Amino acid sequence: MRPRRPALLAALVLGLALVAVLWWRIPWAATPTVGDPTAGLGADQLDRADAFAAALRPASLANLALGLLVSGLLGLTRSGARVVTAVARPLGGGWVWRVLLGTLAITVLGRLATLPLAAYGEVVRRRYGLSTRSWSLWTRDVVVDTAITAGLTALGLLLLVGLARRAPRTWWAWAGAGAAGLVVAGSFLYPVIVEPAFNDFTSMPAGPLRTELLALAEENGTPVEDVLVADASRRTTALNAYVSGFGSTRRIVVYDTLLQELPDDQVESIAAHELGHVATDDVLTGTLVGALGAAAGVALLGWLLGSGPLLRRAGADGAGDARVVPLVLLLVALGTLLSTPVQNGVSRQLEARADQHALDLTEDPDAFTAVMRRLAVANLNQPDPPAVWQWFFGSHPTTAQRVAAAQEWSR
């Protein structure tokens, strides 16, 4: 038990530091009072959003449950350890190949198990006009996403197991520092590595909208290098925009669907919201929270992987044994699930602050209200979803809350 105690203590200290950062950096404000839960949407639009949710949510929950079940079967029985050993045997069975190929195999098995539900979700999105992908493009996206996930996870686990083999008592401290560093690096690398894997980007042609968006960024005190258009219409009819990058790589990105569907003042309102995240350093906040959370999670993992009964169930001898990979993946999945409502609660607060920033920057509550309604219709969002669903899965305020906030701002 003694080697486990420092890991548990470190997890508690890092957890307290995370709470302090959340208290300091997050604008914990009350949600606006909603007078109209329909947010002004028509009966047909409400019925369509309700029908879409009724068709998709059960499959989403089943997908989540099935993924956890597969992870549990592989992580809490010796079957996962057997898979890790078997896939590496043709290459000599060394621990490096066990980690790399074992992670790939476990990830692919989990993805294959949930693939029918994912395909059903795609069918629903196509039926309601949200997805424009061909099945070949959908398959490509699944393969690319699986490859990126498996590759990054395998490298992380290779680092973890390698450290555990070299420093059996303190590996979790070194791995925690590495995980925090990877979160920071990911914030910089995501726009230049992951985003281009799914979309092509072109500079928005010169014109009034481009000029206005660049001017908006200057007025915001956060100038951008470029305004890019993403070819999102190849995959979806959803409307979106965001700001990515840091410093000289910062750019406003708008979906081409946005340009096709919305007038310029509404596009500017969305861009002002995204620029609000930049002005209040929300990416920095997210990176800091993510780094502390990752370090705390690895420390907690160090404590859990010191449990003899848990290791015996997984068929592994310790954190330095490559057969621990399925157990680690299960524990990470459980940690992600348990932290989801906390992450989304933080996200909702940041999004609400960005809404207020957009209203202050554009001084156009009518455009803001109009675009919130258009987004709800285009993305088939319920304006006032069930409270439990919103608490657990809602990363943004509801449409009804955002419209109410604009009305409060006007008053």
* SS3 per residue for 222-286: CCCCEEEEECHHHCECCCCEEEECCHHHCEEEEEHHHHHHCCHHHHHHHHHHHHHHHHCCHHHHH
Give the number of C-alpha atoms closer than 13 A to the C-alpha of residue 151, restricted to the C-beta side. Answer: 7
Q: What is the 3-state composition of the chain as percent helix, strand, coil, each rounded to the nearest 5?
A: 75, 5, 20
- 348-365 residue pLDDT tens: 999 999 999 999 999 999
Write down the pLDDT at residue 190: 72
User: What percent of the chain has a predicted confidence (pLDDT) above 90?
Assistant: 81
Instruction: Let me know: does 408 contact 365? Beta carbons within 8 Å.
Output: no
pLDDT at position 403 over 80: yes
Write down the pLDDT at residue 192: 66
C-alpha to C-alpha distance for 327 and 75, rounded to whole angstroms:
4
Query: Residues 345, 348, 354, 360: is their CA dihedral positive or negative?
Result: negative
Write down the pLDDT at residue 1: 45
Write down the pLDDT at residue 277: 92
At 72, which amino acid appears? G
Span 299-304, mean pLDDT?
95
Question: What six digits make up the tokens of 316?
Answer: 């592994």
- 124-140 residue pLDDT tens: 999 999 998 899 999 99
C-alpha to C-alpha distance for 270 and 261, rounded to whole angstroms:
13
| pLDDT band at residue 44 under the 50/70/90 scheme | very high
Write down the pLDDT at residue 283: 84
- 244-298 residue pLDDT tens: 877 767 889 999 999 988 999 999 999 999 999 999 989 889 889 999 999 999 9
C-alpha to C-alpha distance for 259 and 207, rounded to whole angstroms:
13
pLDDT at position 343 over 90: yes
Q: Enumerate the domain spans of the chain.
A: 4-198+286-349
C-alpha to C-alpha distance for 103 and 324, rounded to whole angstroms:
10
**Average predicted confidence (pLDDT) for the chain:** 92
pLDDT at position 2 over 70: no
Q: What is the pTM of this model?
A: 0.89
Span 134-150, mean pLDDT?
94
**Which of 4-13, 230-239, 254-263, 304-313 comes out lowest in average pLDDT?**
230-239
| pLDDT band at residue 204 under the 50/70/90 scheme | very high
